[in-house]
Chains A and B, each alone.
Chain A
Amino acid sequence: MIEPAAKSNPAIRTPAPHDSAHLHVSGEARYGDDMPEPRGMLHCWLHLASRTHARIVRMDLSRVRLAPGVVDVICAADLAATTNDIGPVFPGDLVFAEDEVLFDGQPLFAVAATSREAARHATTLAEVEYEDLPAILSIDDALAANAEVVPSKQWLRGDPDGAIARAPHRLAGRIRMGGQEHFYLEGQNAMAIPQEDGQMLIYSSTQNPSELQHKAAEVLGVSAHAVTAENRRMGGGFGGKETQAAWFAVISAKLAQRTGRAVKLRLDRDADMTITGKRHAFLIDYQVGFDDDGRILGIDFLQAADCGYSPDLSHSIADRAMAHADNAYFLDQLRITSKRCFTHKASNTAFRGFGGPQGMVGIEEVIEQIARHLGKDPLAVRKVNFYGADSRNVTPYGMTVEDNIVDGLVGELEQRVDYAARRRAIAQFNASHAYLKKGIALTPVKFGISFTAKHLNQGGALVLVYLDGSVQLNHGGTEMGQGLHIKVAQVVAEVFGIDLDRIQITPTTTGKVPNTSSTAASAGTDLNGAAAYNAAMKIVNRLIPFVRDHFKIATETAIVFRDNGVYAGNQRLASFKEIVKLAYMNRISLSAAGFYATPKLEVDALGRGRPFYYFAYGAACTEVVIDTLTGEHRMTRVDIVHDVGKSLNPAIDMGQIEGGFIQGAGWLTSEELWWDARGRIATHAPSTYKIPVAGDVPPHFDVRIYERGINVEAGVYRSKAVGEPPLMLAISVLYALKDAVSAIGGYRRAAVLDAPATPEAVLMAVEEMKRAVAARTSHATPVESESATTA
């Protein structure tokens, strides 16, 4: 799985278009709601609670049941005989509210009716009486009440308190960052179709068919073998369909089981954004001690995550935030405390980066504060803190960084963008412009690749070769737009030496590959590509002895599959199709299941050890301009270099890098989630929740794949995962904005600017900076009085 054989039809390292591109553009690509509807299919709609935290005193559904078109109604009591809890790891994720409503919008019951409108209308006829209870609506409330969804966790190395106390400089401060709505363009949907003998077929827009299958089996009270979950593609996932897609699948499946009819549940956008969880908002407190160069000597982080009302995956997400509190920097003496806060909100869930982005913003904030405190360029402070090659290379969780390329990669970008000259030009601009200020930031990314839960690091595939030499490929990964299917197909085509169009990609189904992991953690290609490679290699390894004997070739090593045929050295023995036919006639199996388990992983109960197979790296340099009168701002120039190892498909990888960056920029700037004083989310549609549009893309947007990239570990053909890491390149946007605000204070004060940096947040930061300049104070509190903090 390292280096491909030379061939004139290479399938990997080529910019093959997305396998469905021609279907996307013609409207022929089929999504859940586009499937033909079975005869007699019912439509489902949910009734959402209108309280944030309340006891349900009375719920009378009799008028609902009598409404025209209604066939069935279910609530928590109807699931009591099996389960109303679909928590993926820990209990607590409820299908329907039980005695208490735990967040505004929590589903109380579901209606199946003959039309969507009939179902919707019926849900309005319920009589529900609530008794309001006090609600926890913020991280601060939760910390005060010590309300957690799962216990907190701490990593300690050395003596951080002593190191901080002894350090020449000390700072303490806080940064907050908001959550993020996934805004997959295709909302959550599922269609359950009863089969004979108690079986259930579920089409769902899910990243995690296996978990969905098992959750549905539990809710239906049947064995897993009676449930098949299938997905051809999602209209976006981003983590939002990792656990929570199962919710809507089990509701439609239960209704289908009870009625004996197919049931479809498709949330409308408002319900989707109200019910489902988002990226976790974080509050991060830090204390840091550092030397005159800005080198961090000791650090203490408190990371508090807003998990919402239930565990979902919050423990793993908070773990990953801890594991990215270092980003690319060596933190010697340290304490990282992670609080997994309970709030009366929708249960926050996986979102591209999975806690990593929040952890990384924490340390970038520390770097920013140190730089302003010392009057240094933040890039200089970054560099003195980078992980070393042979020393200063052990992460807070005890893993040695063996593949560190951050120095070279950042150096390359610094040179490419002419950072020093840009810095001067920006200073000049700022000196000559009273109302507009520019800012720049160059930030690195180091992101750990693997699920932190070791057992999830496995993949499966099924490769079927037919007599005409065409191939069906199936694997455990799901396609949400990231190009997983084409990449895995490229791997299989490469192994067989056949053209890519000989591979037919088929829907992901639990009926072909069982017990798969969620397509998440950027690991889709690493796990499923490797499994498909192993499956294809099994077939090749059956064919090679046959070819040897059939063609009387002296050595097996001379036999190569390439150019749609089989060769012994330069001699073409037969076409792939002919070999397949011959093998069949000689009763050789032409299908294989492949399996892969990521090697080298080992962690202790606290998640320390080697949780990651390798790291993916990148760096971005972003320039912004802000309007100090209104807080409006935009990116004017962005340059990126990102490491994907040796790319399997540079076009697909480029799409992940660019798309990830823009999505991250949205998180940190315009995408603001807003709840009213009663805890009701008001940003539940694109009219109020603003993701980037085309005009937000910087006019200069130069994104490049790191040419020297290679995976030192045996990733699929030396490639690296690319799904999540680029999102964190956008941290440069937040720090460029802070740089612009800092310019007002002569770069000797850090901006008081939390994320998302909306125009409002930027204007308030500008005002605060002006006040601070006038009052000669700084934001982060020096722990003892020091001179030279103000220019």
Chain B
Amino acid sequence: MRPLRFLLNEQLRELTDVDPTLTVLEWLRGPAGLTGTKEGCAEGDCGACTVVLGTPTADGKMRYRAVNSCIMFMPVLDGCQLLTVEHLKSADGRLHPVQQAMVDHHGSQCGFCTPGFVMSLFAMYVSESRPTRERVNDVLSGNLCRCTGYRPIVDAAQAMYDTAWDEPVLAHAAQTAKRLLELRKDSEPLALEHKGRRYFAPTSADQLDALIAAHRKATLLAGGTDVGLWVTKLHRDLGDVIYLGNVAELHGIVESDDELVIGAAVTHADAYDVIAREFPDFGELLRRFGSTLVRNSSTVGGNVANGSPIGDSMPALIALGARVVLRGPNGEREIPLEDLYIAYGKQSRKPGEYVVRLRIPKLKDDEQFRCYKLSKRFDQDISAVCAAFKLRLENGRVAEIRTGFGGIAAIPSRARKTEAALADQPWNEATITHAESVLGDEFTPLTDMRASREYRRLATTRSLRKFFIETTQPDARTRVLGAEVCA
């Protein structure tokens, strides 16, 4: 067995006896003795633990993305560079531009969230040119500050680009990529064992199949933005873990004239551009899905395979008619996404099967698509209700309607009765009024901390109403987000 190998800042670290579900945060603050990175929530919702993960691309460049270290397991660092807040000051003690801008603009008060903000902004600094304020808000959607009210932080995020600075991380990037590619090239897939619990990071689907066959009870780990919480919040022992992130067949986005095919291990961050371009409203939903920190880890397949009734991507995918490709002992099979879900916690996935990719049909010219995510907070909040609609009209009548809903049933669902009530009907007020009443009765949502049953029911029908308005009154303003409302 080879050790877990990664760069901590510029330094190669090789760890042999590592608990596979030890979080990066616990390791940093404990064995590594680096306490600059903070624990605020241990569930990926506050960003105090933000670190930057550097990964090499095949062409010898580096990508840097900010992630939550509190729910990231140590072995995921294999072959990566981990950058922490301690690394930013230059050797002569000068603050990095992001740090100096935060000081100059009074961007810290109590300072506990500050290292996390600094690292989110640092990832932006090395990856993007000077952003708009809206872009900064998106970048910071996973970083909570309770003191400042954010304005000075956003100011700093823009001002940091004004400092003349030869960024050492970028200056070393080619060399770093070389070091990491070197590590990755001549290495066998990572396999660890610690106190009887094993961790595997296969690199091909064949290896994955064999591992799943040999370790039937193993936990499959992708982005870890939910599985991580099983450990940090539920204190569960995951047993053996098989990591999917390195499996080549689970990666890649393939686009054709009529569909997008997205590998299961593609992160939501990486899928964003193409999805936002093809389905602007789905893009808007993804912009508000989790946070930037979450989307940098969370995967398209993970959200779907997790199958939570409040998972935000499924309503849109179901309404779009996405199909999920499963692979198992008997090879691959393909089913409509909605057919994956049977009941709460129960899926039609057979033992040994895993999600390989999603096939999302592109919209045809005469198809209209909208989705609506309703939550207490716009950013990084689980939906009370998530609703999506795809419509094709022929001569003013409903030729095709597909819906997808989350938050109102035990599984992500189509509203089939409502679809039936709409089918072949004229797309008009009377039809919608009737369909609203059908939809209001079709589900029995729960009351919980996110919303009451009554709100869920009402908001569900109102989302249909909104879709009707948006498809029939293109000039009517129906969204509170967007700059035009402020004018």
A-B pairs under 8 A by CB, number: 275
A436 near B: Cβ within 8 Å?
Answer: yes
Judging by beta carbons under 8 Å apart, are A636 and B110 in contact?
Answer: no
B416 near A: Cβ within 8 Å?
Answer: no
B484 to chain A, nearest CB (A): 11
B175 to chain A, nearest CB (A): 25
Task: Write out the residue numbers on chain A whose beta carbons fall within 8 Å of the beta carbon of B150.
Answer: 662, 692-694, 697
Judging by beta carbons under 8 Å apart, are A235 and B112 in contact?
Answer: yes
Task: Write out the residue numbers on chain B whose beta carbons fall within 8 Å of the beta carbon of A434.
Answer: 476
Which residue of chain B lies nearest to A23 when distances are taken between CB atoms in the complex?
A: B111
Judging by beta carbons under 8 Å apart, are B378 and A695 in contact?
Answer: yes
Judging by beta carbons under 8 Å apart, are B478 and A24 in contact?
Answer: no
Which residue of chain B lies nearest to A22 when distances are taken between CB atoms in the complex?
A: B103
B223 near A: Cβ within 8 Å?
Answer: no
Task: Write out the residue numbers on chain B whose beta carbons fall within 8 Å of the beta carbon of A764.
Answer: 454-455
B95 near A: Cβ within 8 Å?
Answer: yes
Known contacts A185-B48, A659-B109, A693-B377, A629 near B465 by CB under 8 Å: yes
Which residues of chain A from 183 to 216 have a CB within 8 Å of any chain B CB?
183-187
Judging by beta carbons under 8 Å apart, are A234 and B110 in contact?
Answer: yes
Which residue of B85, B115, B377, B448 contacts A696 across the interface (Cβ within 8 Å)? B377
A262 to chain B, nearest CB (A): 17
Chain A residues touching B, range: 35 or more
Binary per-residue interface labels of chain A (683-726) against chain B in the complex, 1 for a CB within 8 Å, 0 otherwise: 10111101111111101110100000000000000000000000
Which residues of chain B from 371 to 398 have a CB within 8 Å of any chain A CB?
372, 374-382, 384
Interface size on B, residues (CB 8 A): 91
A187 to B153, CA, bound (A): 22
A704 to chain B, nearest CB (A): 13
Judging by beta carbons under 8 Å apart, are B109 and A18 in contact?
Answer: yes
B462 near A: Cβ within 8 Å?
Answer: yes
Which residue of chain A lies nearest to B235 when distances are taken between CB atoms in the complex?
A: A120
A659 to B115, CA, bound (A): 18
A747 to B43, CA, bound (A): 44
Judging by beta carbons under 8 Å apart, are B458 and A481 in contact?
Answer: no
Judging by beta carbons under 8 Å apart, are B35 and A34 in contact?
Answer: yes
Judging by beta carbons under 8 Å apart, are A26 and B377 in contact?
Answer: no
A634 to B148, CA, bound (A): 19
A460 near B: Cβ within 8 Å?
Answer: no
Which residue of A658, A696, A767 contacts B458 across the interface (Cβ within 8 Å)? A767
Known contacts A120-B235, A655-B148, A694 near B376 by CB under 8 Å: no
Which residue of A25, A625, A626, A663 contacts B146 across the interface (Cβ within 8 Å)? A663
Known contacts A25-B102, A629-B466, A699-B133, A674 near B449 by CB under 8 Å: yes
Known contacts A269-B43, A436-B478, A24 near B35 by CB under 8 Å: no
A21 near B: Cβ within 8 Å?
Answer: yes
A13 near B: Cβ within 8 Å?
Answer: no
A654 near B: Cβ within 8 Å?
Answer: yes
Task: Write out the residue numbers on chain B whose beta carbons fall within 8 Å of the beta carbon of A23.
Answer: 111
Binary per-residue interface labels of chain B (33-54) against chain A in the complex, 1 for a CB within 8 Å, 0 otherwise: 0111111111101101000000
Binary per-residue interface labels of chain B (462-487) against chain A in the complex, 1 for a CB within 8 Å, 0 otherwise: 11011001000000111111010110
A38 near B: Cβ within 8 Å?
Answer: no
B272 to chain A, nearest CB (A): 16
Task: Write out the residue numbers on chain A whose beta carbons fall within 8 Å of the beta carbon of B102.
Answer: 21, 24-25
Binary per-residue interface labels of chain B (68-111) against chain A in the complex, 1 for a CB within 8 Å, 0 otherwise: 00000000000000001110110000010011101110111111
Which residue of A270, A482, A763 contacts B109 across the interface (Cβ within 8 Å)? A482
A525 to chain B, nearest CB (A): 15
Judging by beta carbons under 8 Å apart, are B449 and A269 in contact?
Answer: no
Which residue of B38, B141, B380, B381 contacts A185 across the interface (Cβ within 8 Å)? B38
Which residue of chain A lies nearest to B469 when distances are taken between CB atoms in the complex?
A: A435
Known contacts A26-B36, A690-B376, A763-B459, A481 near B110 by CB under 8 Å: yes
Binary per-residue interface labels of chain A (246-272) against chain B in the complex, 1 for a CB within 8 Å, 0 otherwise: 000000000000000000000011100
A632 near B: Cβ within 8 Å?
Answer: yes
Judging by beta carbons under 8 Å apart, are B377 and A692 in contact?
Answer: yes
Which residue of B95, B136, B476 contacts A694 across the interface (Cβ within 8 Å)? B136
B167 to chain A, nearest CB (A): 16
A184 to B483, CA, bound (A): 31
Which residue of chain A lies nearest to B473 when distances are taken between CB atoms in the complex?
A: A434
Task: Write out the residue numbers on chain A whose beta carbons fall within 8 Å of the beta carbon of B380.
Answer: 693
Judging by beta carbons under 8 Å apart, are B85 and A655 in contact?
Answer: no
A696 to B377, CA, bound (A): 8
Judging by beta carbons under 8 Å apart, are A693 and B89 in contact?
Answer: no
Which residue of chain A lies nearest to B479 when distances are taken between CB atoms in the complex?
A: A627
A661 near B: Cβ within 8 Å?
Answer: yes
Known contacts A686-B45, A695-B141, A27 near B109 by CB under 8 Å: no
Binary per-residue interface labels of chain A (452-491) against chain B in the complex, 1 for a CB within 8 Å, 0 otherwise: 0000000000000000000000000000111100000000
Which residue of chain A lies nearest to B85 when distances are taken between CB atoms in the complex?
A: A27
Which residue of A120, A626, A636, A661 contacts B149 across the interface (Cβ within 8 Å)? A661
A152 near B: Cβ within 8 Å?
Answer: no
Which residue of B46, B152, B372 contacts A655 across the interface (Cβ within 8 Å)? B152
A238 near B: Cβ within 8 Å?
Answer: yes
A740 to B106, CA, bound (A): 34
Which residue of chain A lies nearest to B287 when distances are taken between CB atoms in the complex?
A: A695
Judging by beta carbons under 8 Å apart, are A687 and B382 in contact?
Answer: yes
Known contacts A17-B104, A120-B235, A686-B46, A483 near B146 by CB under 8 Å: no
Judging by beta carbons under 8 Å apart, are B480 and A632 in contact?
Answer: yes
A559 to B174, CA, bound (A): 63
Judging by beta carbons under 8 Å apart, are A631 and B459 in contact?
Answer: yes
Judging by beta carbons under 8 Å apart, are A658 and B151 in contact?
Answer: yes
A23 to B112, CA, bound (A): 10
Task: Write out the residue numbers on chain A whose beta carbons fall within 8 Å of the beta carbon of B378.
Answer: 632, 634, 695-696
A760 near B: Cβ within 8 Å?
Answer: yes
Which residue of chain B lies nearest to A481 when distances are taken between CB atoms in the complex?
A: B110
A700 to B133, CA, bound (A): 11
A483 to B108, CA, bound (A): 10
Known contacts A24-B114, A31-B112, A655 near B106 by CB under 8 Å: yes
Subset of 11 A-B contacts with CB under 8 Å = A25-B100, A26-B36, A34-B35, A268-B42, A481-B110, A481-B111, A625-B485, A636-B485, A637-B486, A670-B376, A701-B151
9 new A-B contacts, CB < 8 A, other than A33-B39, A693-B150, are: A17-B104, A26-B86, A236-B112, A435-B469, A629-B478, A631-B455, A662-B150, A687-B43, A693-B144
Closest CB pairs A-B (n = 4): A27-B36, A481-B110, A235-B112, A24-B111
**A residues at B contact (CB < 8 Å):** 15, 17-18, 20-31, 33-34, 120, 182-187, 233-238, 268-270, 433-436, 480-483, 625-627, 629-634, 636-637, 651-652, 654-655, 658-663, 670, 672, 674, 682-683, 685-688, 690-697, 699-701, 703, 758-760, 763-764, 767
